[in-house]
Amino acid sequence: MSNSEFFTDVTDQIRYEGPGSDNPLAFRWYDANRVVGDKTMAEHLRFGVAYWHSFASDGSDQFGSGTWDRPWLEAGADPIDAARQKMSAAFEFFEKLGAPYFCFHDLDIAPEGDTFAESCANLDTLVEEAAIHMERTGVKLLWGTANMFSRPRFASGAATNPDPELFARAAAQVKHCMDATHRLGGANYVLWGGREGYDTILNTDIGRELDQLGRFLQMVVEYKHQIGFEGTILIEPKPHEPTKHQYDHDSQTIAGFLRKYDLADEVKLNIEVNHATLAGHDFVHEVAVAVDDGLLGSIDANRGDGRLGWDTDQFPNSVEEMSLAMHEILRGGGFATGGVNFDAKLRRQSIDRSDLFHAHIGGMDVMARALLAAHQMLVDGALTTARAQRYAGWDGELGADILEGRVTLADLHQRAYAGSIDPSPRSGRQETLENLVNRYVERVS
């Protein structure tokens, strides 16, 4: 272990001790090398720590200033020195946690300069620093992304801005951030359209804005091929917040958008739990839609709060919720370039540096346990067999005749009229299946 400068309460790497352990600084379920099916837990889950909430934030909210103990964020330091300190702290954390990946926004790792050129130079400096840390620790990059929502210039959006000068500025920033991600061997590049939407329809031309967004994404894909970046381009759905309406509303909306702009073979989704909640969906719905449409890329594992209507980004703690999502992910063949990142933040009152460890250990254990339950459900066909039986008729003659266009409305009318159709209903067995899922969640070991 290299210099233990910041997280002195954690002296060693977090280890797996098993479900019987009472050690709060040990994994009870995440056993990186345990084989589940055809891969290890580490290979299935591909955990990534999100730089911004964990290292670039200080616990401030709309009503109050920072509360967390983060010496690398203290005011007054030279911005590049401070960014280097922050990076040392981050890599110390990744290494002690045993996280194989991290992910970042450009502005999380490097300070903005007075000009765009200066910002680029700052990013380049910190990217080279990151490359050294990555080499030393073996930690890899799950994805990079550009922050095009915090600064005043992007108040009216980036790609969907009414002014093409702002589109150009955003394009330049994404180009540079893609270069950085490529340089660091990133497995994916993410676009979350934080302000790609609108606050009021009174001043908004939706048709134009969607065409702009489509062209922006085409440029991103073209550039990816130009530089030979082999990672996946991912869009992260979110229905609103910060804008009132965001175009990347949910998985199904993005699927339609990608087809309209001829991007469906090039772009996949980074699906976040809390964003599904905001869209009025269960997380498993968002994942299942993506899996069935061949669009699953990666996930941001967090959760909302049932009483609060905003993106609270808490660390995941429901094994049941995550088991259902992992079941769909495994059904689709698991992650390819994607993984599980914790786009999750501590509560404002969790002020100790070591709270970051407890949060990630808990989240990783929840995901590991969910993986075990999901894998067993899939192996046993607990849900897939029930589904197959429920739709079995569609594999028969009538189903095939309908789907393959061999019968018309009038033909079906004639068959029903002649009494050769059996429309008697069958149970959907929801409660039986809920009990079954609960048994898998209870019994993992």
Residue 346 beta carbon to ligand XLS: minimum distance, rounded to whole angstroms: 15
From the list ligand XLS, Ni ion, none, pick the one residue 70 interacts with, judged by a Cβ distance below 5 to 8 Å according to partner type: none
Residue 105 beta carbon to ligand XLS: minimum distance, rounded to whole angstroms: 6
Using only the alpha carbons of the chain, give its radius of gyration.
24
**What whole-number distance in Å separates Cα of residue 196 and Cα of residue 246?**
6
Residue 229 beta carbon to ligand XLS: minimum distance, rounded to whole angstroms: 18
Under the criterion CB under 5 A, does residue 272 sit at the interface with Ni ion?
yes
Set 108, 300, 311, 313: catalytic member = 108
Under the criterion CB under 6 A, does residue 192 sit at the interface with ligand XLS?
yes
Q: Of 99 and 374, which has the nearer Cβ to ligand XLS?
A: 99
Residue 418 beta carbon to ligand XLS: minimum distance, rounded to whole angstroms: 56
What φ, ψ does residue 234 adopt, rounded to 5°?
-120, 140
Under the criterion CB under 6 A, does residue 343 sit at the interface with ligand XLS?
yes
Using CA atoms, how far residue 111 sits from 78, 132, 186, 266, in Å, is: 10, 19, 21, 31
Under the criterion CB under 6 A, does residue 272 sit at the interface with ligand XLS?
yes
**What whole-number distance in Å separates Cα of residue 145 and Cα of residue 292?**
26
Per-residue x/- track, 325-364, Ni ion (CB under 5 A): ------------------x---------------------
**What whole-number distance in Å separates Cα of residue 214 and Cα of residue 257?**
8
Q: Of 241 and 292, which has the nearer Cβ to ligand XLS?
A: 241
Q: Of 145 and 376, which has the nearer Cβ to ligand XLS?
A: 145
Residue 142 beta carbon to ligand XLS: minimum distance, rounded to whole angstroms: 11
Q: Of 44 and 53, which has the nearer Cβ to Ni ion?
A: 53
Strand locations in 108-176 (E): 140-145
Under the criterion CB under 5 A, does residue 250 sit at the interface with Ni ion?
no
Under the criterion CB under 6 A, does residue 300 sit at the interface with ligand XLS?
yes
Residue 194 beta carbon to ligand XLS: minimum distance, rounded to whole angstroms: 6
Q: Does 108 qualify as catalytic in the annotation?
A: yes
Residue 377 beta carbon to ligand XLS: minimum distance, rounded to whole angstroms: 28
Under the criterion CB under 5 A, does residue 248 sit at the interface with Ni ion?
no
Q: Which of 57, 119, 122, 145 binds ligand XLS (CB under 6 A)?
A: 145
Q: Of 153 and 415, which has the nearer Cβ to ligand XLS?
A: 153
H/E segment holding residue 234:
strand 232-235
From the list ligand XLS, Ni ion, none, pick the one residue 179 interacts with, judged by a Cβ distance below 5 to 8 Å according to partner type: none
**What whole-number distance in Å separates Cα of residue 47 and Cα of residue 54?**
14
Closest to 7 in 3D by CA, of 354, 347, 351, 350: 354
HSE-CB at 69 with a 13 A cutoff on CA atoms is 10
Under the criterion CB under 6 A, does residue 238 sit at the interface with ligand XLS?
yes
Set 31, 44, 53, 105: catalytic member = 105
Q: Does 281 qualify as catalytic in the annotation?
A: no
Q: Which of 108, 196, 293, 311 binds Ni ion (CB under 5 A)?
A: 311
Under the criterion CB under 6 A, does residue 248 sit at the interface with ligand XLS?
no
Six-digit token pair at 231? 């990672």
H/E segment holding residue 226:
helix 206-227
Q: Of 95 and 311, which has the nearer Cβ to ligand XLS?
A: 311
Question: How many residues belong to the site for Ni ion (CB under 5 A)?
Answer: 4
Cβ burial 146-168 (10 Å sphere, 16+ → b, else e) = bbbbeeeebebbbbbbeeeebbe
What φ, ψ does residue 145 adopt, rounded to 5°?
-155, 160
H/E segment holding residue 86:
helix 79-97
**What whole-number distance in Å separates Cα of residue 415 and Cα of residue 357?**
65
Six-digit token pair at 324? 């259902």
Question: How many residues belong to the site for ligand XLS (CB under 6 A)?
Answer: 10
Burial class (CB in 10 A: 0-12, 13-18, 19+), 265: exposed
From the list ligand XLS, Ni ion, none, pick the one residue 145 interacts with, judged by a Cβ distance below 5 to 8 Å according to partner type: ligand XLS
Closest to 320 in 3D by CA, of 379, 383, 369: 369
Residues 70-129 that bind ligand XLS (CB under 6 A): 105
Contacts with ligand XLS by CB under 6 A lie at: 105, 145, 190, 192, 236, 238, 272, 300, 311, 343
Contacts with Ni ion by CB under 5 A lie at: 272, 300, 311, 343
* Active-site amino acid positions: 105, 108
